[in-house]
Structure 1
Amino acid sequence: MEFISVLWNYILPFLVLFTLLVFVHEMGHYSVARRNGVRVEIFSIGFGPELFGRDDRWGTRWKFCAIPLGGYVKMFGDADAASRPGEAVQRLTPEQRKVSFYHKSVGQRAAIVFAGPAVNYLFAVLILALLFMTAGQRHTPAVVGAVIPGGAAESAGLRTGDTIVQFAGRNIDRFEEVEQVALLHPGQALRIVVRRDNAERAFRLTPEPRTVRDKHGNTEVYGVLGAVRMVAPVVGRVLENSAAAEAGLMNGDRIVAIDGRPVSTFQEVRTVVMAGPEKRLRLRILRDGRSVGLTVVPKIYSYRDGAGVARTIGRIGIGVAPPPMKRHGPLAAFWAAVGETWSLTVISATAIGQMFTGKRELRDIGGPLRIAEMSGDMAQIGIYAFVWFMAAISLSLCLINLLPVPMLDGGHLLYYGIEAIRGKPLGEKAQEFGFRIGMALVLGLMVVVTWNDLLRLFGAHGS
């Protein structure tokens, strides 16, 4: 039964996500190759032995292979996996050269190679646009609902009611964007601009590093803002066997007062509850338009903060209601998706850059097992989270493939750029040397991510 659960909850969502994204990527190469008159011999999803396939009327073999961890398009005249000419290419007839990849202009070859990552990017935009048209876009105003005592926001000088207009050089429209920026910059001093009393003020804010462990035992270090969005005190969920469940709180209840004192934000509720473990609290709530009185006793919860200091707080076991969603029409959804994709691009590019500069550890890089875990987790949360994750992975595939590393699309584009400037390709020895370096880098990365996955799988990443 456990195997069936893993298969259904993790392996199947991963295969759906990865197969679709690989198909989209390779379809980009295929479509532009065909448009430029190149004969495509093989369109493969996966590597290794063929499981099944068929030949179309243009002579392309479409097939699924046994190892579903990638795919490729083999074009006529693309001599080998490194896209370098071989002796066979030099002996092609004039008719064959018309449909040969190698004999196309440098601009055509660059367009064919660039099309794969470009379609991954466009796919991310399109599925987000569809999401924003149907389910809507999370849209919480960038207003500080509360400042956590002792947190990064308080240390920087932020106050409740501040409207954040810029953070780390990025214009801000939604609170979700603020959280995204903080997330990727733990321990880094960032410029933040807020609007307060009709005037803009600038501060330096350093997101607090916070180590988070997920249910699979994986640990990640994120930046914490130390401030929360303006959230109404509406109960979004009630945990089983919690103090709230025992008191009779229900989803949709709006807490309007605690011990006779009015509350207007969820953070006010949280502050009172955290400060009163095992203290009887009298709640006044609105339920279906009726005023109801309840008594709840927060349970004791002990933990260690980021500095390792033991702390004890009260908990009643409720969560906030989902953030407000804003549905868009087709055109507005498209432009919202473009903006969201650009935000994800900045986040992904920042993360990749941090890997190269040492600001993010190599152990943070995940491989297929990590992606499978996250695919399953997102699928279990719901279709919204899964589609969002798919867009993020599609975008990551685009950016990684565009890195100027031989063996990747970006490496080919680098060579084509040099060829366009020189008027002729690099010498065969120079290309071979570059491809060997590229292969070493790609294989090294594969070893690192596989090792990280195995460490996560067997819980060797420590406490």
Structure 2
Amino acid sequence: MSALGGFVWAVISFLLVIGPLIFIHEMGHYLVGRWCGVKAEAFSIGFGKEVVGWTDRRGTRWKLAALPLGGYVRFAGDMNPASQPSPEWLSLPAEERRQTFQAKPVWQRFLIVLAGPATNLLLAVLLFGGLLATYGEPFTPPVVAELMPHSAAAKAGLKPGDRIVSIDGEAMRRFQDIGFYIELRPDTDISVELDRDGRHLLLPVRTGVTEDKTSHTRLGVLGVMSGGGGMRPVPLAELPALSTDYAWGAFKSTFVGIAQVIGGERSAKELSGPIGVARVAGQVADMGWFPLIALMAVISINLGFINLLPIPMLDGGHLIFYIVEAVRRKPVEPQVQEWAFRSGLALLLCLMLFVTFNDLGSAGLWQKLAGLIG
């Protein structure tokens, strides 16, 4: 595939993945808003100029906008970023005012905002459940078949035939769980619990490090290989718990990764944005529907998690203000909210520029430009 063809395919794959996730997120806000009796004036996928749209019988304008990197539901009364009562809102007729977002009690406003990220997390559980029901679960027993020479596992004293029971107290049900746990912990001290011929051992291990050539992300390595496995059919009774467990595992991985960046254990250069997601989506789409839907589930969790961060302009920032309002029994002062939302917007714009810079660097753009200049 040519470079142009690869770029087009990456964009198409990105839109196939991110478009439905944005729709689901905003639909969560919309449905709970309707349940609470709030009128929705607009439901938009994307920002900027409207490309196509229609108005339903309730007066909601459904539209697709030119920049499909997000979306929004504009409820009646949303006349300022903090959704605070204003003179314009107070001038509305009483019946119209009752259908506005500001007129609702704080617990309803909290639920409306929470519904977006919560719907993303629920979608991930459903996607994992669908994959498990359709294809089964990739399952390899957590037994060491072979050790890589000079690896972290070999240095720590692991042997072929050892069953890895847990790492840092976290149970390893499958061999795949070992990889997921270790990858997030490069050059880290861990504790590996083993079953060796019926004897339980606890070994301290210092993980190794490798680098993902595509994303330039540091990954932890243990240096153990499995003896092979296959797809395990998942009984219907196991699906709810197992799909929730998969979603919770992905949520924890996102939390750990961000916490490591904040704590300085990982470089901020490993953060990625829409361009990086598009590149990964294009690569994964070539592998088939199973990995593409799994990627969608993981991105849905990331989208829900990020929106829950306590940053003004994100859902989590709004939720913090509603919690404070519930405790104080009065809203945070409009000037404080206005300052917070302006700061949050500036932070998000800076973060977007930063991750875009990272993505372009991972794509080799800066290296190519340096070569041309040199």
Shared fold, TM over 0.5: yes
* Aligned residue number for residue 324 of structure 1: 230
* CA distance in structure 2 between the aligned counterparts of 1:460 and 1:7, rounded to whole angstroms: 17
Contact 2:144–2:160 (CA under 8 A) maintained in structure 1: yes
1:2–1:461: structure 2 CA closer, same or farther, 3 Å change rule? Answer: closer
- Summarize deviations over 1:197-239 as a string: whole Å, max 9, x none: 222211112220112313xxx42210011111222xxxxxxxx
Partner of 1:27: 27
Structure 1 counterpart of 2:339, one-letter code: F
CA distance 1:8–1:327, change in 2 (3 Å): farther
1:224 counterpart residue number: 221
Write the distance in 1 (CA, Å) between the matches of 2:109 and 2:199.
53
CA distance 1:8–1:444, change in 2 (3 Å): closer
| CA distances 1:6-40 after superposition (whole Å, capped 9, x unpaired) | 35521111111111100010000001000000000
**How far did 1:409 drift?**
0.3
Alignment of 1:454 with 2:360, yes or no, is: yes
Q: Secondary structure at the match of 2:149?
A: coil
Q: Which has the larger radius of gyration?
A: 1
Q: How much does 1:42 deviate?
A: 0.4
- Taking the aligned partners of 2:52 and 2:89, their CA distance within structure 1 comes to 29
For residues 386-412 of structure 1, give each alpha carbon's deviation from its aligned partner in whole angstroms, at most 9, with x where no partner exists.
Answer: 011100000000110000111100000
Give the match for residue 431 of structure 1.
337
Alignment partners' CA distance in 2, 1:446 and 1:45: 19
What is the identity, as a one-letter code, of the residue corresponding to 1:447?
Answer: L
Q: Which amino acid aligns with 2:221?
A: V
CA deviation string 1:322-373 (max 9, x = no partner): x411122444222211111111111111001111111111111111111000
Q: CA deviation at 1:196?
A: 1.5
Query: Is the contact between residue 9 and residue 380 of structure 1 (CA under 8 Å) also seen in structure 2?
Result: no
Q: Distance in 1 between matches of 2:155 and 2:19?
A: 46
Q: How far did 1:127 drift?
A: 0.8
SS of 2:254's partner is helix
Higher helix share: 2
Query: What's the secondary structure of 1:200's corresponding residue?
Result: strand
The SS at the match of 1:50 is strand
For 1:412, which of 318, 338, 343 is the aligned residue? 318
CA–CA distance in structure 1, aligned partners of residues 66 and 25 of structure 2: 19
Call closer, same or farther: CA 1:162–1:436 in 2, change over 3 Å.
same
| Separation in 2, partners of 1:184, 1:3 | 31
Say which SS state the counterpart of residue 436 (structure 1) adopts. helix
User: Whole-Å Cα distance in 2 between the matches of residues 327 and 7 of structure 1?
Assistant: 37
Distance 1:81 1:346 in 2: 31
Higher RCO structure (Cα 8 Å, ≥6 apart):
2
Return closer, same or farther for 1:437/1:4 CA change in 2, 3 Å cut-off.
closer
Count of residues in correspondence between the two structures: 368
Contact 1:406–1:412, Cα closer than 8 Å, also in 2: yes
1:401 to 307, 310, 316: 307
Amino acid at match of 1:334: P
Q: CA deviation at 1:459?
A: 4.0
Number of the residue aligned with 1:161: 161
Counterpart position of 2:371 = none
Rounded Cα–Cα distance in structure 1 between residues aligned with 2:11 and 2:187: 36
Q: Is contact 1:362–1:448 with CA below 8 Å preserved after alignment?
A: no
Q: Which residue of 2 aligns with 1:277?
A: none
Separation of aligned partners in 1, 2:252 and 2:93: 47
2:309–2:316 contact (8 Å) kept in structure 1:
yes
Q: 1:215-364, aligned counterparts within 5 Å?
A: 218-231=215-228, 323-364=229-270
Q: Contact 1:14 / 1:372 at 8 angstroms: preserved in 2?
A: yes
Q: TM-score, normalised by structure 1?
A: 0.77
- Does structure 2 conserve the Cα–Cα contact (< 8 Å) formed by 1:192 and 1:203? yes
SS at match of 2:212: strand
Contact kept? 1:168, 1:181, Cα under 8 Å: no
Question: Going by fraction, where is strand more abundant, 1 or 2?
Answer: 1
User: Which whole-Å CA distance do the structure 2 matches of 1:461 and 1:104 have between them?
Assistant: 54
What are the superposed Cα offsets for residues 274-297 of structure 1, whole Å, 9 maximum, x if unpaired? xxxxxxxxxxxxxxxxxxxxxxxx
Aligned-partner residue type, residue 205 of structure 2? L
SS in 2 for 1:416: helix
Secondary structure, counterpart of 2:159 in structure 1: coil
Distance 1:206 1:86, change over 3 A: farther
Alignment equivalent of 1:369, drawn from 275, 280, 285? 275
CA distance in 1, matches of 2:9, 2:336: 47
Match for residue 120 of structure 1?
120
1:354 and 1:360 in contact (8 A); partners too = yes
